[in-house]
A and B are shown apart, each in its own frame.
Chain A
Amino acid sequence: MDKRFLALLSEVFGLRECDIHPGLKKADVGTWDSLRQMDLVTTLEREYEVALDIPDILRMISVAGILEVLQEKGVVVGN
């Protein structure tokens, strides 16, 4: 995960970048509620210029899930 991706998630969920890893799930993060999920969607759409539909959004309930969806959209989130 590159610096840009970590910074985005850090800003959306109010997490320290060092606490963000692929295994992190929505249920593990107290601030990851439905409102923050909307922030996540609009932030990713804006920053990576992708369109996320409802099935995509429903899959983005873990960092791994977010990475998977972005990868499918052609977004490379490198190391």
Chain B
Amino acid sequence: MEIRGAVSLVTGGAQGLGLAIAGHLADKGSTVVVADVNADALARLPGGLEGVRMDVTIPEETKAVTADILERHGRLDILVNNAGMIFSEPFVNIMNPAAMMHDYGHFRDSLRVNLDSVFIVSSAAVEQMVRRRIKGVIVNISSISARGNEGQTAYSAAKAGVNAMTVAWSKELGRWGIRCNAVAPGFIDTDSTRGALSESIVKHVQSSTPLRRLGRPSEVAQAVAAIIENDFLNGVVFDVNGGLII
């Protein structure tokens, strides 16, 4: 798909990785709508990006936003499901005998934000694509943690679910000309990563990565664009991790 002239929706696009992706698509000539729950971050969006407040876990909001995009721009070609939240909690914490096990509420919350959200937003977007016979592209932002990362039971499960949905949708939606792929970043140098990991863990990750550094948001954005532009890529989970295997 030619990015120039396409209409894109990037969820969680007001900061960090999402902002890098949104900016890159805009630089390549796409009209980009950034949906985010963070009103302050939306207010700081750079020029060229169109911001809209949306909670990706509320179906009615996502339906309203996608319908509005269709109304104002006439189409929706690209959906980047980037919204999510890194979440870490050990399955067993022996240092907390009163509540030793992973909190079930936290588990459900993480799945809601990182997995349900992808289902909810994609449902709204794909309905519009199918009804209007738009041969669109969905790019889900997965994670290296989908392989199962210690200390991240919920986040790993959510991202593994995202990978599975990606493949299922690639098979089911291909007949409509809609492609679905995922990008699975390794450890990327964002505020989100720095906030979730201690400095010592970051150093350990860097030394474990064959390229000996964290990834840059722009490198993930380039991968997203490459997937959009290659019309024969479908059902792929594309690792962008500097060679790190967990």
Judge whether B131 and A38 touch: CB under 8 Å. no
Main secondary structure, interface of B, reads helix
**A35 CB contact (under 8 Å) in B131, B133, B172:** B172
**Closest A-chain residue to B173, C-beta based?**
A38
Interchain CA distance A13-B167 in the complex, whole Å: 23
B120-148 interface mask toward A, CB cutoff 8 Å, 1 = contact, 0 = none? Answer: 00000000000101000000000000000
Judge whether A54 and B131 touch: CB under 8 Å. yes
Kindly list chain A residues whose C-beta atoms are within 8 Å of the C-beta of B172.
Answer: 35
B22-36 interface mask toward A, CB cutoff 8 Å, 1 = contact, 0 = none? Answer: 000000000000000
How many A-B pairs with Cβ below 8 Å?
A: 9
> In the complex, how many angstroms separate the beta carbon of B128 from the nearest chain A beta carbon?
13
Task: Categorize the interface residue count of chain A.
Answer: under 10
Kindly list chain A residues whose C-beta atoms are within 8 Å of the C-beta of B133.
Answer: 45, 51
Interchain CA distance A39-B175 in the complex, whole Å: 7
**Closest A-chain residue to B174, C-beta based?**
A42
A30-67 interface mask toward B, CB cutoff 8 Å, 1 = contact, 0 = none? Answer: 00000100110010010000010010000000000000
Kindly list chain B residues whose C-beta atoms are within 8 Å of the C-beta of A39.
Answer: 175
> In the complex, how many angstroms separate the beta carbon of A39 from the nearest chain B beta carbon?
6
Chain B CB within 10 A, most for which of A38, A45, A51, A54: A38
B175-208 interface mask toward A, CB cutoff 8 Å, 1 = contact, 0 = none? Answer: 1100000000000000000000000000000000
Chain A CB within 10 A, most for which of B133, B172, B175, B176: B175
> In the complex, how many angstroms separate the beta carbon of B174 from the nearest chain A beta carbon?
10
Kindly list chain B residues whose C-beta atoms are within 8 Å of the C-beta of A45.
Answer: 133
> In the complex, how many angstroms separate the beta carbon of A14 from the nearest chain B beta carbon?
15
Kindly list chain B residues whose C-beta atoms are within 8 Å of the C-beta of A35.
Answer: 172
List, sorted by A's number, 9 A–B pairs whose CB atoms are closer than 8 Å.
A35-B172, A38-B175, A38-B176, A39-B175, A42-B175, A42-B176, A45-B133, A51-B133, A54-B131
What are the 9 A-B residue pairs with the smallest beta carbon separation, nearest first? Answer: A42-B175, A38-B175, A39-B175, A42-B176, A35-B172, A38-B176, A54-B131, A51-B133, A45-B133
